[in-house]
Amino acid sequence: MTIMKVASFAAGQWVAPNSAARPIASAITGAQIAEAGNDQLDVQAMLDHARNVGGPALRAMGFHDRAKMLKALAMHLGQHKQALYDLSFDTGATQSDHMIDIDGGVGTVFVFASKGRREMPDGQVYIDGEIEELSRGGTFKGMHIATPLQGVAVHINAFNFPVWGMLEKLAPTLLAGVPAIVKPATASCYVTEAAVRIMLDSGILPDGALQLISGGTGDLLDRLGAQDVVSFTGSAQTASMLRSNPNILKNSVRFVAEQDSLNASILGPDVTPGSVEFDLFIKEVHREMTTKAGQKCTAIRRIIAPEGQVQNVIDALSEKLDKTVIGDPRAEGTRMGALVSAAQKRDVLEKAALIGGECARVYGDPDALPLSGDVNPDAFVAPMLFRCDAPDTATVVHETEAFGPVSTIMGYRDIPHAIALANKGEGSLVASVITASGDVAREVAMGAGAFHGRLYFNNATSMKESTGHGSPLPHMVHGGPGRAGGGEEMGGVRGVLHYMQRTAIQGSPDILTSICGRWVSGSSEVPAPAHPFTRRFHDLDIGETIHTESRRVTMDDIEHFAHFTGDTFYAHMDQAAAERNPFFPGRVAHGYLLLSFAAGLFVEPNEGPVLANTGLDNLRFMKPVEAGDSIAVRLSVKAKTRRTDEYGEVRWHVTLTNQDAELVAEYELLTMVQY
């Protein structure tokens, strides 16, 4: 059998392993299948290439360009999944494990592509939050922007998700406009290398945007600076060693860590055996113990059940574990494959023995492994369930992660006790609760929220569509305090901002408009050369403004609108009642009448480039309008966003003022305008 030479991709070149390479064995056969590592890798050239070539190319693009690039990348990867599945079996993973790692990874890139288009501007500057009014006269304002870091993101990943682990970091990094150097764990790096080759061969990424280190990183971390980020996933021990690198400390290099965690799942006090929710609990725990053979950072390590239910849970879970086919991950009926390596098995057995020192093993025997298929048993391990009878004084079970199919059940007296036990993990990625009780859910959220990066509630209502205790989703924050590493990844745009610098900007409205590419109120108006509704998307300038004629509002108008629409609310119809209302001087015009009049004042009626009005944002009515008052409208181009190949969205800032130039209403109008 040929040994795969797992290469690195450095400064535009594939670099084969050299004599310093480490052997990598198949988890199924135990035979060597690959080697990786090159101690002569020029990491400085890699950093230079990322900083001088990849970074500038990515920063020259806008968020939407980069989001489109991600979408193309996800589609391309999606077409090559089979090659990755084929390789991945040797990591011990089953086909359903591949769905999490490979399909899940591709899906994550799709979500970031879509969020980039929908939630980030069609430009290069991200605006974080609202404009801050810093002066009475409105000539000095503040805002927060985020711009891409000008260094490189170094992604150091764990072995268990060679594809998802890379892509969940890469997608937000590239969307931010930052190049990445990816360093997968050596045990499964041949799968990551294949995925990187697929991405690079597609030609979708600019030069220098993605590089790969297969094997050791040499002195890479000693060469990082303040514009670089390290995003690490792995064990707490490695995280603490790497984050205390003197160069990282000296340069305040951002260090995001996702590390091991003692995740818990609580069976709600309202759930009893025989109910769908009890079965749901068993299903979730069983899935977390057996998926990826328990090598999941989010797996349920501690099962927390009402004291009276502990034996029922053990019985139901044992029955389900009995039916779990363990063996060749390539075989169709196999539910649980191997650990990644024999070394990993040794580690799991060592940790399980430690847990066994303070807890009773109630299911599974490390020496009696029921295996199906023709496999080498060296990396396979039996699922093991322990029972902890003194969870308040136990320590190992709350501190030790056996990174395999190992979990411990413990009983609780009441919800505060369950919360206290869940929190004894001193920080986790996720805790779940199976309950139909809103009160229990609220108590757990308040009592345990601070200790867990994610709280997952499930019951009969949500179970069909729920995504699973152990699935980090690109939309939701992944990470956790304390033992979980104190980091945070994903969470939609939040995850993108980890690779950007937030900067407070202060200045005049015109300065702010120039910087952020969105019209800030108080900025100079750009006179429209023609009615803006006659102008095409690309011709419209930010700040382009028209002022309309004014229109007098009469009592007839109010009466007519009321009867026409059926909105005969007393403030429009009954003078005495309206006067008793603290908001109104007497009968007033309907807010929606004013909006309709405003449209009548600013629209250009003829067929033209404006295709549709798609909504209003941030509508506020500031001052009532009485019969006899007049209103006029100011319409300014606030922002433009390309949407399709034919049209884009124009966001208009609209103000209505009365005859005394007082602000009556303000909103943002959304239209689709042809290119």
The residues that touch ligand NAP, with contacts defined as CB under 6 A, are 156-160, 183-187, 217, 233-235, 238, 242, 258-260, 297, 401, 403, 429
Q: Which is nearer to ligand NAP, 235 or 324 (CB)?
A: 235
359 is catalytic: no
Residues 6 or more apart whose CB falls under 8 angstroms from that of 220 comprise: 43, 46, 47, 154, 181, 213
- Angle CA 543–549–553, to nearest 5: 120
> Do residues 620 and 665 touch, judged by C-beta distance below 8 A?
yes
Smallest separation (angstroms) from ligand NAP to the CB of 215: 6
Q: Which is nearer to ligand NAP, 158 or 656 (CB)?
A: 158
Give, in order, the Cα–Cα distances in Å from 453 to each of 22, 112, 158, 416, 604. 35, 20, 19, 19, 52
DSSP 268-304: -TT--TTSHHHHHHHHHHHHHHHGGGG--TT---EEE
Q: Which is nearer to ligand NAP, 456 or 537 (CB)?
A: 456
Smallest separation (angstroms) from ligand NAP to the CB of 403: 5
Smallest separation (angstroms) from ligand NAP to the CB of 513: 40
Q: Which is nearer to ligand NAP, 192 or 545 (CB)?
A: 192
- Beta partners for 455? 431
Smallest separation (angstroms) from ligand NAP to the CB of 178: 19
Q: Which is nearer to ligand NAP, 128 or 426 (CB)?
A: 426
Smallest separation (angstroms) from ligand NAP to the CB of 262: 10
Q: Which is nearer to ligand NAP, 177 or 487 (CB)?
A: 487
Burial class (CB in 10 A: 0-12, 13-18, 19+), 213: buried
> Do residues 425 and 451 touch, judged by C-beta distance below 8 A?
yes
How far, in whole angstroms, is CA 621 from its chain's centroid? 36
Catalytic residue among 297, 359, 388, 516: 297
Catalytic residue among 168, 193, 258, 544: 258
State the SS3 of 145-165: EEEECCCCEEEECCCCCCCHH
Give, in order, the Cα–Cα distances in Å from 577 to each of 373, 567, 571, 573, 614. 83, 16, 7, 9, 36
DSSP 221-250: GGG--TT-EEEEEE-HHHHHHHHT-HHHHH
Here the tokens at position 151 are: 């260094």
Here the tokens at position 38 are: 């090159």
The residue number with the shortest CB distance to ligand NAP is 234
Indicate the residue type of 652. W
Smallest separation (angstroms) from ligand NAP to the CB of 85: 20
Q: Which is nearer to ligand NAP, 75 or 99 (CB)?
A: 99
297 is catalytic: yes
Give, in order, the Cα–Cα distances in Å from 41 to each of 20, 45, 259, 636. 11, 9, 27, 55
How far apart CA 439 and CA 444 sit, in angstroms, is 9
Q: What φ, ψ does residue 331 adopt, rounded to 5°? A: -75, 145
Smallest separation (angstroms) from ligand NAP to the CB of 352: 14
Give the residue numbers annotated as catalytic, written as ranges: 258, 297
